[in-house]
């Protein structure tokens, strides 16, 4: 890859600075240019913008990729980026409806940040009659299922009390995300994979729009692979890219789903639980960036995703993995849908693909389009309508490490102005 290639990169779906709109040199013609399908709809000219990066970075312009020339990398979030709806939530839904969550010795021990209120609510709802290490009857005990779902979704109990408290870096973790694999403590990886497979079969068979009722919660009951994303991954691989998934979900669950788009275990990065001597999942997970085994302090979440990309893909060791790397050690294409993806997607040197779910910090970056490479697309299934008003980029869209909300800043320190939601609705 050359600096000339870098100059030929994708423009975003909004008006570009004059410098960013400079035309790139045409790729070499011929049979070595794998093409995105023209039968699948993208917003505006997003397909062409992505195709340009594929042509510039892939085998079209670099026919010796994989034969002495380093492959370019594309990395994508999973939930609501490659699929419509969250596959981790689908697995939790299935597990609760089939009594697959084991009673912990103490709910307090299930997360280092669990509050006394959270512990009391779960203990009261789920009871103590079931022996420790045995399945909770969540298929029939709606109160227990309710508390688990409420804490997973909002970090609060059904009564509205905080389920987590203490100190954590809000750009490196969020307790309710870290809690998901911790919920499956005591199960083996193979067991969790089997739950994910059954949940996958069920969710793919359910009609689009299906919901399920668990306790008093109504949750999505279907999942679909986005055809456009399947095609993008397939085309990238044909063009010589290494393609990775970087998810804030549980790794065994992500791996079950990623196989069907041709991404293997080695190319799937998510929360990696530590196993005990009998191969069972524990409440500990592997760390990153100089942070060793931990209880959820570091997961692939916001800046944590950058850390895991740098550590697992580019083999950057220690604290340096938290830093933005030089151009040759950054992904060419990144894709995501939420604030948890903003840092690693922003690190991409070719295209920052955004599925619009109205997430503040992410959409501020995308619509500001500071480098002219942001590619915004509505969700391909059941897209959101236009957000009313503006994103509060200039005041409170940034997720600060201490949990506060502050202005979104560009690399030069200037404040991103509030942005209007301009890419939304159905794509035909």
Residue 12 to residue 29: CA distance in whole angstroms: 24
- Assess whether 129 and 270 both reside in one domain: no
- Assess whether 356 and 229 both reside in one domain: yes
Whether the pLDDT of residue 302 is over 60: the answer is yes
Dihedral angle computed from the Cα positions of residues 132, 138, 144 and 149, in that order, rounded to the nearest 10 degrees: 110
Whether the pLDDT of residue 254 is over 90: the answer is yes
Determine, yes or no, domain membership for 193.
Answer: yes
- Assess whether 210 and 267 both reside in one domain: no
369, two tokens: 């389009």
The residue among 165, 187, 220 that closes a domain is: 220
Phi and psi based region of residue 250 (left: phi greater than 0; alpha: psi -120 to 50; beta: remaining): beta
Which pLDDT belongs to residue 30?
Answer: 47
In this structure, what CATH number is given to the domain that contains residue 237? 3.40.50.1000
Lowest mean pLDDT among 5-14, 260-269, 298-307, 385-394: 5-14
* Coil, strand or helix at 275: strand
Dihedral angle computed from the Cα positions of residues 92, 94, 98 and 101, in that order, rounded to the nearest 10 degrees: -10
- Assess whether 81 and 172 both reside in one domain: no
Determine, yes or no, domain membership for 18.
Answer: no
pLDDT tens readout for residues 324-378: 999 999 999 999 999 999 999 999 999 999 999 999 999 999 999 999 999 999 9
394, two tokens: 């200039």
pLDDT tens readout for residues 304-322: 999 999 999 999 999 999 9
In the predicted model, what is the mean pLDDT of the chain?
Answer: 93
Determine, yes or no, domain membership for 310.
Answer: yes
Determine, yes or no, domain membership for 127.
Answer: yes
- Assess whether 229 and 187 both reside in one domain: no
Determine, yes or no, domain membership for 23.
Answer: no
The residue among 220, 244, 265 that closes a domain is: 220
Q: Walk across the sheet containing 268-271 and list its strands.
A: 268-271, 242-250, 73-76, 333-336, 351-356, 374-378
Determine, yes or no, domain membership for 32.
Answer: no
Please, where are the H alpha helices in 32-188?
A: 46-57, 87-97, 116-126, 142-154, 175-183
- By percentage, how much of the chain surpasses pLDDT 70? 92
Q: CA triplet 102, 105, 110: central angle to 5 degrees?
A: 75
- Assess whether 250 and 397 both reside in one domain: yes
Residue 322 to residue 184: CA distance in whole angstroms: 29
| Radius of gyration (C-alpha) of the chain in whole angstroms | 22
- Assess whether 209 and 337 both reside in one domain: no
Whether the pLDDT of residue 31 is over 80: the answer is no
List the one residue out of 47, 27, 23, 26 whose CA is nearest residue 37. 47
Burial profile 8-41: b = 16 or more Cβ within 10 angstroms, e = fewer = bbbbbbbebeeebeeebeebeeeebbbebeeebe
pLDDT class for 391, splitting at 50, 70, 90?
very high
pTM of the model: 0.91
- Assess whether 93 and 81 both reside in one domain: no
Whether the pLDDT of residue 8 is over 80: the answer is no
Which pLDDT belongs to residue 344?
Answer: 98
- Assess whether 99 and 73 both reside in one domain: no
The number of domains in the chain is 2
Which pLDDT belongs to residue 325?
Answer: 98
Please, where are the H alpha helices in 239-359?
A: 251-258, 303-308, 342-346
Whether the pLDDT of residue 73 is over 80: the answer is yes
Determine, yes or no, domain membership for 160.
Answer: yes
- Assess whether 109 and 72 both reside in one domain: no
A 10 A CB-CB count for 403 gives 12
**Average pLDDT, stretch 288-294?**
98
- Assess whether 309 and 289 both reside in one domain: yes
pLDDT class for 29, splitting at 50, 70, 90?
very low
- Assess whether 267 and 397 both reside in one domain: yes
Which pLDDT belongs to residue 18?
Answer: 34
Is residue 300 a contact partner of residue 248, using CB atoms and an 8 Å limit?
yes
Give the domain range for residue 152: 87-220
The residue among 158, 188, 220 that closes a domain is: 220
Determine, yes or no, domain membership for 19.
Answer: no
């Amino acid at each position: 890859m050359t600096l000339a290639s870098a100059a030929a990169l994708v423009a975003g779906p909004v008006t570009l600075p004059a410098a960013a709109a400079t035309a790139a040199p045409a790729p070499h013609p011929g049979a070595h240019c794998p093409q995105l399908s023209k039968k699948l709809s993208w917003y505006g000219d997003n397909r062409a913008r992505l195709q340009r990066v594929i042509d510039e970075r892939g085998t079209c312009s670099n026919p010796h990729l994989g034969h002495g020339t380093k492959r370019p990398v594309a990395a994508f979030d999973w939930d609501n980026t490659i699929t419509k709806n969250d596959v981790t939530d689908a697995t939790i839904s299935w597990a609760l409806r089939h009594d697959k969550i084991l009673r912990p010795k103490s709910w307090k021990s299930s997360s280092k940040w669990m509050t006394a209120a959270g512990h009391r609510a779960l203990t009261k709802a789920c009871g103590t009659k079931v022996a420790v290490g045995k399945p909770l009857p969540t298929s029939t005990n709606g109160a227990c299922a309710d508390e688990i779902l409420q804490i997973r979704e909002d970090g609060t109990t059904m009564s509205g009390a905080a389920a987590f408290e203490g100190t954590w870096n809000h750009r490196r973790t969020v307790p309710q995300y870290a809690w998901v694999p911790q919920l499956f403590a005591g199960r083996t990886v193979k067991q969790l994979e089997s739950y994910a497979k059954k949940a996958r079969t069920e969710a793919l068979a359910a009609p689009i729009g299906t919901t399920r009722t668990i306790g008093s919660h109504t949750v999505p009951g279907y999942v679909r692979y986005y055809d456009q994303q399947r095609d993008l991954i397939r085309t990238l691989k044909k063009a010589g890219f290494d393609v990775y998934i970087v998810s804030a979900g549980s790794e065994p669950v992500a791996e079950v789903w990623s196989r069907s788009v041709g991404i293997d275990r080695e190319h799937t990065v998510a929360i990696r639980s530590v196993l005990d001597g009998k191969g069972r999942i524990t409440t500990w997970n592997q760390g990153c960036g100089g942070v060793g085994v931990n209880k959820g302090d570091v997961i692939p979440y916001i800046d944590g995703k950058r850390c895991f990309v740098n550590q697992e893909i580019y083999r950057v060791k220690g604290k340096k993995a938290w830093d933005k790397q030089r151009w040759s050690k950054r992904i060419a294409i990144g894709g995501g849908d939420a604030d948890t993806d903003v840092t690693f997607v922003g690190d991409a040197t070719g295209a920052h693909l955004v599925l619009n779910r109205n997430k503040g910090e992410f959409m501020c970056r995308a619509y500001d389009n500071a480098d002219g490479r942001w590619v915004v697309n509505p969700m391909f299934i059941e897209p959101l309508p236009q957000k009313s008003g503006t994103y509060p980029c200039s005041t409170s869209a940034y997720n600060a490490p201490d949990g506060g909300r502050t202005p979104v800043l560009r690399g030069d320190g200037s404040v991103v102005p509030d942005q209007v939601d301009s890419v939304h609705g159905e794509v035909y």
